[in-house]
Amino acid sequence: MILLNIFFLSDKLRKILKIIILTPSLFLLSTYILSIPLGLYIMFAPQLGLDYSRGFTSIYFISYMIPFLTPFNISRAFLFISLIIVYSICIFAAYKLEANMKVIIRKPWSGFNDLTSNWLISMPTISGMLFILVTVLQSFQESVGIPTGSITLPDPYGGLLSLAYSPIVEEIGFRFTPIGTIVAISLSRYLKFKFLPLAIIWPDKGKSWARLPTIHDHGLKGITVPEWTAIFGTSTIFGLIHYTAGGGWNVGKISSAAVAGIALAMIYLWKGIHASILLHWFFNYYGYIWDVAETVHQSLFINLSFVIYGFTLFLGILGWIILTWKIGVNIKKKMVAHNDDHIFKPPKMVSESNT
């Protein structure tokens, strides 16, 4: 703790730390972008992928945590291209809607806190932190005899399509519709009806328009009691459905999926639906695309996968260290303030002139 205090008290060291975080974050961001055309190449360039994409598949949706299977069958190629377009839009939205990334990159010596001002910059660290949290939780459960299991994918191409599809429908079904409805009801007293759709897409921005406490300015205090109830409720169901739906997951998946659901819900409330979709995409499509790429061109992608994993793990560990330090500082401040409030103050003496 003493070492952390010395480290963070220095302005210069704080700026160096920002560069240490920014460099691997920009590298990982480049791999996020690279994974988009890579998915198209893997799905359509090899003959096996091209043959698979020519087939048809059924479509399902999730609304208010209830899945709906539609009677429609559409081309796998059309569906996959549509999903790639949605992810491209989410990346573009994250780039345009928040702080200018060019300013953050051009001025690496500026404020440390601006690393969280754009989701594309903060996503590598947050995804690494969540990856570590889920891994540690699952490892602990496995050590006490609670198996997590693993998902069973039909083939690389079917798996890629499934893992590209699930983040979008699950974020709509478990975050956007149930939690978004609560946000809309809460903000309807403060905003005109025409602003509510945009507020549901990005709840923290809607609160800012309504001049209510936001996560950006007030941290966890910017989350209301109804929102906390929705976060834990939807995340619990999110965990249970992963287990009950089958597919290879065991009982240990309930808790790890619920923890991931809590993180996804908080990111949705803070950064918007595009951000929670991208975070979910990281664990599904992005995490799987490199495995498939290795089977196609092992010599080319195996080293890249190792670097991606290493940087993600590094940023996750660093993120947990910084978060732990900040929590410790806040606790220390509260203790000091509490002690100051309880310092004994002698009563004022009554002057003789007033007796």
Tokens of 316: 């996750």
Residue 213 has pLDDT above 90, yes or no: yes
* pLDDT higher than threshold 70 for residue 63: yes
pLDDT, tens digit (0-9, with 9 covering 90-100), for 310-323? 999 999 999 999 89
**Local confidence band at 6 (pLDDT 50, 70, 90 cut-offs):** very low
Better-predicted residue by pLDDT, 140 or 107: 140
pLDDT, tens digit, 9 for 90 and up, residues 175-199 = 999 999 999 999 999 999 889 999 9
pLDDT above 80 for 266 = yes
pLDDT at 245: 85
The residue written with tokens 């660290």 in the block is: 125
Map residue 69 onto helix, strand or coil: strand
Looking at the whole model, is its pTM more than 0.75? yes
115-137 mean pLDDT:
94
- Listed by start position, the domains of the chain span 2-330
Least Cα distance to 277 among 123, 67, 114 occurs for 123
> Residue 164: pLDDT above 90?
yes
Handedness of CA 231, 237, 238, 240 (dihedral sign): positive
